Amino acid sequence: MSDDRLIVALDVPNALQGLAMAEKLGDSVSFYKIGLGMLTGGGLALANELKQDHGKRIFLDMKLFDISNTVENAVRGLAQFDLDFLTVHGDPHVVRAAKEGAAGKDLKILAVTVLTSLNRADLDAGQIKPGDVQELVLERAARAFEAGADGVIASPQEAALIRALPEAEGRLIVTPGVRPAGAAAGDQKRVATPARAIGDGADHIVVGRPVYQAADPKAAVAAILEEMGSLQVH
């Protein structure tokens, strides 16, 4: 039985491999993330096929960032595929434009706060203003919600803090950087287990490599679902 709190990231090279993985996972997974890395490998076609032919929910992880008019037009084009989630950068002008582009559709606009692969040294190198990473995430989340974001993407370590924000009432928190107990962190620097992330207020968790690189991906999903199973659905 699937649980749509679990989103499996199909960060494989092309749509054929993505479809093969989805077929291997079968009914155990109901929600997939398709990202920028597969855009030139048929990612949009795969998203449409999984949605329309297989009844899956789809999170398109594009992390759009541009001037307002361009973002609005891009989101309007993507919204025609009737997908479920789309990421944009959390800057208020980007969020507002994305919401305009998604008007009339069920597409949820999720704002990126601070990428879960970044730490303070990375932010310094990018000339992002000084301050604790968690404080920056909270500030960006609040501003994104005020601009109309349906939810935010944030590290599991910030989920509880964001959930406590008044602005977060009724909004989604989606957490990448989730690693099952015993799994390697990879390039993620701010991680937590699935149970911890859900317990701290995440509505959905995103898991990629621990599933698609597993010797038995379906067993890996079953283990994650078991770890989540004792927790109540939000």
What pLDDT, in 10s, does the model give residues 129-172?
Answer: 888 888 999 999 999 999 999 999 988 778 899 999 999 999 99
Q: State the pLDDT confidence band at 200, using cuts at 50, 70 and 90.
A: confident
Q: What is the pLDDT of residue 115?
A: 81
pTM for the whole structure: 0.91
Q: Cβ neighbours of residue 152 under 8 Å, at least 6 residues apart? A: 90, 110, 111, 112, 113, 140, 141, 144, 145, 162, 171, 172, 173, 174
Q: Cβ neighbours of residue 111 under 8 Å, at least 6 residues apart? A: 87, 88, 89, 90, 94, 95, 140, 141, 144, 145, 147, 149, 151, 152, 153
What's the DSSP call for residue 171? -
Catalytic residue (choose from 24, 51, 63, 105): 63
Please choose, from the candidates 186, 164, 191, the residue with its C-alpha nearest in 3D space to the C-alpha of residue 175.
191
Does residue 63 carry a catalytic annotation?
yes
Q: What is the pLDDT of residue 184?
A: 55
- The tokens describing 134, both together, are 């968690």
Average pLDDT, the chain: 90
Q: What are phi and psi of 109, to 5 degrees?
A: -95, 120
Query: What angle do the packed helices 133-146 and 92-101 form, to 10 degrees?
Result: 40
Q: What is the pLDDT of residue 181?
A: 66
